[in-house]
Amino acid sequence: MAGNVLPRAVQNLINEFARLPGVGPKSASRLTFFLLRSADNNQALTLAAALQELVENTRYCSTCYNIAEQDPCELCADPERDDHLLCVVEEPLDVVAIERSRAF
């Protein structure tokens, strides 16, 4: 049987997508080939730029460990907030839902 049918770069991207939670080999292949087909739309470059921006400009707040662009995060830096109240969440994404509800 012949070696790899796919170019190394394609197989590498499929492997990386497959490492993401909820993404299996089939979905990883679909995502990769979608990006290949839409290369003229620069979708792959836009995704790469968004990933680079995420890595370079996102951190965890040293006070509450929320995802932020600055430290402390906007929530902890807001003087209007009661810094004696604490809301414990499992994931930073839970903070988004709570903030949208304006219940806390």
Pair 52, 66 in one domain: no
Question: 0.85 cut: is pTM over it?
Answer: no
Pair 41, 71 in one domain: no
- Long-range interactions of 88-95: CB distance < 8 A, separation 24+: 92/65, 92/66, 92/67, 95/66
User: Is 2 within a domain?
Assistant: no
* Residue whose structure tokens are 């012949």: 2
Q: Where are the beta strands (DSSP E) in the chain?
A: 59-60, 67-68
Per-residue pLDDT, 40: 74
CATH of the domain at 17: 1.10.8.420
Radius of gyration over every alpha carbon of the chain, rounded to an integer in angstroms: 20
Pair 39, 69 in one domain: no
Q: How confident is the model at residue 3 (pLDDT cuts 50, 70, 90)?
A: low
What is the number of domains present in the chain? Answer: 2
- Mean pLDDT, rounded, for 7-16: 97
Report which secondary-structure segment, H or E, holds 54.
Answer: helix 43-57
Per-residue pLDDT, 2: 53
Q: How confident is the model at residue 39 (pLDDT cuts 50, 70, 90)?
A: low
Contact 92, 67 (CB under 8 A): yes
Domain that holds residue 85: 60-101
